[in-house]
Amino acid sequence: MYFLLFEQKVKFNPKGKEDLIMTQNAEKKRVPVVKGWFDMDAGLLVGNRCKTCGDVFFPRVISCRNPNCRGRELDEITLSTKGKLWSFTTNCYKPPAPYVSPEPFVPYTIVVVNLDKEKLGIVGQLAKGVVPEKLKEGMEMELIMEALYEDKDGTEHIIWKWKPAA
């Protein structure tokens, strides 16, 4: 199926994934910023759970970090996607490399969300287009995958981010 959407064509490929085709007919490649922290296609963070004591870890650990357990067998799990906003801040100064900044620098917001289910806090950027003035401690947030930055060739470098839950 093809849709003409302004100047972009959207094609559904046989695997059911959506690829965005630019008018120049080059496919936008999506790569994860870091391997092993999330399943980009599933849109979920990846952690692990200790088989012995049930504690959960993100990112994945090699052995249980509970000092009373120290089990060496863990199940890989995907984490839930909703949690409460613990705090937030808007950075107004350009960080040094390896931060990839647009020129001129654009302030961005960092948030900490405590997952409701796994009860751990995760830092991430606020999703594009969300007004930081709307943020309030304790509000429900949900996980998305979005480009952290884009290469000159149009490759999107994907990372997890947070937005207010629908």
Partner 1 sequence: MKEVAVLGIGMSQWGKWPEKKYVELAKVAVEGALKDANLAWKDIQFISAGETSFSGLLGMLPGGVLSGEMGWQGIPVVNSFNACATGAYAMDIARARILSGMNDVVLCFGGETAPKGFFAPTSSDPQDLDALRFMIGVTNPTYFALYAMRRMQKYGTTELDMAKVKVKNSKHGVLNPNARFKKVFTVEEIQASPMVASPLRLMNLCTTSDGAAAVVLSSMEYARKHNLNPVKIAAISTASAVYPDAIINVPQLSTDSTISGEPGMSFQRNVAYKAYEEAGLGPENMSCAEVYDLSSAYELDWYENIGLCKPGEAERLLNDGDTSLGGKIPVNTSGGLGAFGESVPAQAIAQVCELVMQLRGAAGARQVQGAKAGITINFGLMGNASSVIVKK
Which residues here bind partner 1, judged by CB under 8 A?
33-36, 53-59, 65-67, 86-93, 95-100, 108, 110, 112, 118-125, 132, 136-138, 148, 159
Q: Is the peptide bond before 104 cis (omega within 30 degrees of 0)?
A: yes
Biggest distance spanned by C-alpha atoms of the chain: 59
| Minimum CB distance to partner 1, residue 90 (Å) | 5
Q: Smallest distance from the beta carbon of 41 to partner 1, in angstroms?
A: 18
Q: Which is nearer to partner 1, 20 or 149 (CB)?
A: 149
- What is the closest distance, in whole angstroms, from the C-beta atom of residue 12 to partner 1 in the complex? 31
Spatial distance between the Cα atoms of 160 and 165, rounded to a whole number of angstroms: 15
Cβ burial 55-94 (10 Å sphere, 16+ → b, else e): bbbbeeeeebeeeeeeeeebeebebebebbbeebeeeeee
CB of 78 to partner 1, least distance (A): 15
